């Protein structure tokens, strides 16, 4: 027993000290880390549903990602934000889709996480005028979105693929279509009931 | 469990996101132990073996011990996650020891084949990398079987990369390489061409 | 390094003639993985310097108490603890970059530079010497990352951007060069290519210097 203590007191002492140190770092920093993680999502929601100040998480049956009901300062509904995740060219893509209050039109799209090819596929995350994501606002949320290689048809709910990155473009459209397919019926119903 | 998604996970990590060529894990042994094919293959097998076991054990510890303990006693399932990294490295170190003893006792022939590589594996970042990637990706967080396939595939991908490299280096032994590039330099340049080739696999997961 | 007599020499050795990455070829995985931009290199370097300094100091402080057969365990325990702290600090203060570094921050635990410095220097040297060594090697590592990062970012992205969100931008406008950028340089093959060539250049330089000195 004595020999055991003699051999291992240092390790035990260090283990205990380190555990206290780690617990201290955890308590002092975890708040900030959580804030950072939520900030990224909240900023994205603000970008896709304009005028949003607060959000409420909504549970949609059959869809296991987050869906948010977005409200402005007066508590008036500004729209819906839906998180979508799916496989891209290299790895998974995570994005937020914004819908109008009636869940009938898309108000915006923002890619949060992706590691697509730099300069090609990662253009899906570009912001500003004439970018890939800018094609989404105004599309109908009640129908499937199609990806075309040439000029998109105004009436056809179409978007143009990024040159040289058809797979990434297709992946985004697929994620959006899948997410909307699962939530649109329920959102339209609740939106009609509470939006008035 | 649907079988095609497991195959997708396996091919994804062997070819598309190969540990060596796309994720830069296990570069040290890749440069150091790739001088001849049989040694490289032995190392690859040892890594695959330990990686699969460590991947499964760390998954079990995080999801069946840390998470329930945290939510039971501290109210938040993530409250004990700060111990993760310390636990991961301890698990890997003890797994390596266990595997070494087990092989020595029950499979002496296997032990002589790749026992020499086992102590080196503790500091092989591919093993810890596999555990961390499993821990960070929500697809694997929710499924032990997928995690196991991922860890196994990661090992197979590493073994493949290091064996290919050793094959090439054996052929290069008598090539006239500029003096400054001998050793690490030319190995890295060869790896560059291999990595380019592996880029061609990207997108087959779709 | 065996003939490094003063603390200052020990510090300088880590920077140049014993540079952990370019000469000793240690810590290759993070070098290849996070050298796709200067910014990643700087943040990664800072994390490694922090862990290296703490691990060297603690090892040196306890050097007369650590028994030989448990030393690796103690090194690993120390390193894992400080890596966890560094990881949390990065997530709290430079969230965007920490997301890009991904698993390579926790992977500092198995970075051979740190355990190597503890084993070679800290376990048998004074506190001051260990600190000098840690700073030298840490800064040497950061320097190597930044050199590679600068080459790859310049060629691959067409410009250099450092801490854009912090107002500290040193910005070479990517728009001027972007159409001519070689995207492959910031992808995996570019990492192998750049490191291979840089190591070749360093070897050539050292060979020439050795010849000139002899």
Nearest chain B residue to C188 by CA distance is B22
pLDDT score of C89: 92
Burial class (CB in 10 A: 0-12, 13-18, 19+), C95: middle
Task: Say how many CB pairs under 8 Å bridge B and C.
Answer: 117
Q: How many domains does chain C have?
A: 1
Q: Are B145 and B1 in contact (CB under 8 A)?
A: yes
If you search the block for the tokens 């253009």, which residue do you land on? A123
- Tell me which residue in C91, C156, C178 faces A33 most closely, judged by beta carbons: C91
**What does each C-alpha distance from A29 to C86, C99, C140 come to in angstroms?**
11, 16, 29
What does the CA dihedral A26, A32, A36, A41 come to, rounded to 10 degrees? 90
- B138 falls within a domain: yes
Tell me the residue range of the domain where B60 lies: 28-199
Q: Which of B125, B131, B169, B195 should we substitute to test contact with C (largest number of C Cβ atoms within 10 Å)? A: B125
The 3-state DSSP composition of chain B as helix, strand, coil percent (nearest 5) reads 80, 0, 20
> In chain A, how many H helices and how many E strands?
2, 7
Residue B1 pLDDT class (50, 70, 90 cuts): low
Q: Are B88 and B82 in contact (CB under 8 A)?
A: no
pLDDT at B129 over 60: yes
Tell me the residue range of the domain where C207 lies: 7-213
Q: Which of A39, A94, A115, A119 should we substitute to test contact with C (largest number of C Cβ atoms within 10 Å)? A: A119
- C157 falls within a domain: yes
Q: Which of C64, C80, C85 should we substitute to test contact with A (largest number of A Cβ atoms within 10 Å)? A: C85
Does residue B203 sit at the C interface (CB-CB below 8 Å)?
no
- Contact residues on chain C for B181, CB-CB shorter than 8 A: 196, 199-200, 203
Q: Are B165 and B21 in contact (CB under 8 A)?
A: no
Q: What is the mean pLDDT of chain C?
A: 84
Q: Of A76-80, B75-79, C36-40, C41-45, which range is least confident?
A: B75-79
Q: List per-block mean pLDDT (blocks of 10 residues) for chain A, which spans 196 residues.
A: 75 87 87 84 84 80 82 83 82 85 85 78 80 85 83 80 85 89 78 54
Taking an 8 Å cut-off on Cβ atoms, the answer to whether B180 and C204 are in contact is: yes
- Give the domain ranges of chain A: 46-195
Taking an 8 Å cut-off on Cβ atoms, the answer to whether B28 and C29 are in contact is: yes
- Contact residues on chain A for B139, CB-CB shorter than 8 A: 92
Taking an 8 Å cut-off on Cβ atoms, the answer to whether B82 and A117 are in contact is: no
- C2 falls within a domain: no
- Tell me which residue in B133, B184, B189 faces C193 most closely, judged by beta carbons: B189
Task: Please give the sequence-ordered ranges of beta strands (E in DSSP) within chain A, or none if there are none.
Answer: 54-58, 67-71, 77-87, 92-99, 106-113, 146-148, 158-160
- C13 falls within a domain: yes
Nearest chain C residue to A23 by CA distance is C85
- B19 falls within a domain: no
pLDDT score of A101: 82
Nearest chain C residue to A118 by CA distance is C183
Q: How many domains does chain B have?
A: 1
Centre a 10 Å sphere on the Cβ of residue B3 and count the other Cβ atoms it contains: 7
Residue B204 pLDDT class (50, 70, 90 cuts): low
Name the pTM for this structure: 0.84
pLDDT score of B180: 84
């Amino acid at each position: 027993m004595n020999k055991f203590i003699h051999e291992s007191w240092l390790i035990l002492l260090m283990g205990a000290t380190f555990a206290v140190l780690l617990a201290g770092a955890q308590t002092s920093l975890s708040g900030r880390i959580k804030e950072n993680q939520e900030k990224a999502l909240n900023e994205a929601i603000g970008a896709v549903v304009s005028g949003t100040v607060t959000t409420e998480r909504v549970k949609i049956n059959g869809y296991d990602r987050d869906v948010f009901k977005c409200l402005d300062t007066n508590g008036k509904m500004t729209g819906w934000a839906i998180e979508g995740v799916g496989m891209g060219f290299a790895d998974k893509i995570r994005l937020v889709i914004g819908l109008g209050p009636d869940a009938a039109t898309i108000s915006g799209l923002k890619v949060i996480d992706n590691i697509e090819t730099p300069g090609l596929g990662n253009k899906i995350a570009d912001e500003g005028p004439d970018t890939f994501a800018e094609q989404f606002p105004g599309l109908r949320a009640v129908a499937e979105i199609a990806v075309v290689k040439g000029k998109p048809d105004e009436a056809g709910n179409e978007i143009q693929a990024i040159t040289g990155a058809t797979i990434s473009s297709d992946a985004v459209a697929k994620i959006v279509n899948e997410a909307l397919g699962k939530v649109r019926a329920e959102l339209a119903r609740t939106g009609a009931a509470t939006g008035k | 469990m649907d079988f095609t998604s497991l195959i997708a996970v396996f091919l994804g990590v062997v070819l598309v996101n190969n540990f060596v060529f796309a994720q830069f894990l296990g570069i040290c042994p890749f440069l150091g132990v790739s001088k001849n094919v049989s040694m490289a293959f032995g190392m690859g097998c040892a890594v695959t073996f330990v990686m699969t076991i460590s991947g499964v054990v760390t998954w079990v510890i995080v999801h069946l011990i840390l998470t329930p303990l945290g939510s039971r006693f501290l109210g938040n399932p993530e409250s004990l996650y700060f111990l993760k990294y310390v636990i991961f490295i301890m698990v890997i170190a003890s797994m390596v020891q266990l595997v070494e003893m087990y092989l020595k006792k029950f499979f002496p022939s296997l032990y002589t084949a790749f026992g020499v590589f086992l102590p080196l594996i503790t500091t092989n970042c591919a093993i810890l990398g596999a555990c961390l990637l499993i821990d960070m990706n929500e697809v694997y967080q929710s499924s032990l079987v997928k995690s196991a396939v991922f860890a196994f595939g990661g090992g197979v991908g590493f073994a493949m990369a290091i064996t290919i490299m050793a094959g090439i280096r054996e052929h290069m032994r008598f090539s006239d390489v500029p003096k400054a590039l001998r050793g690490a330099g030319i190995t890295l340049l060869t790896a560059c061409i291999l990595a380019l080739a592996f880029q061609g696999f990207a997108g087959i997961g779709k | 390094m065996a003939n490094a007599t003063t603390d200052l020499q020990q510090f300088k050795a880590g920077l140049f003639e014993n540079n952990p990455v370019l000469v000793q070829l240690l810590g290759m995985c993070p070098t290849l993985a996070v050298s796709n931009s200067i910014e990643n290199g700087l943040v990664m370097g800072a994390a490694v310097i922090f862990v290296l300094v703490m691990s060297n100091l603690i090892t040196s402080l306890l050097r007369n108490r650590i028994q030989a057969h448990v030393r690796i365990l103690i090194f690993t325990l120390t390193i894992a603890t400080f890596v966890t702290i560094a990881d949390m600090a990065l997530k709290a203060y430079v969230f965007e970059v920490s997301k890009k570094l991904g698993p390579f921050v926790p992977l500092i635990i198995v970075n051979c530079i740190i355990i190597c410095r503890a084993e070679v220097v800290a376990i048998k040297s004074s506190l001051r010497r260990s600190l000098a060594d840690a700073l030298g090697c840490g800064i040497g590592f950061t320097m190597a990352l930044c050199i590679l990062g600068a080459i790859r970012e310049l060629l691959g992205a067409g410009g250099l951007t450092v801490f854009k969100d912090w107002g500290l931008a040193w910005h070479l406008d990517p728009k001027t060069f972007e159409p001519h950028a070689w995207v492959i340089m910031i992808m995996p093959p570019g990492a192998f290519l750049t490191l291979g060539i840089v190591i070749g250049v360093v070897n050539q330089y050292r060979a020439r210097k050795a010849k000139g000195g002899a």
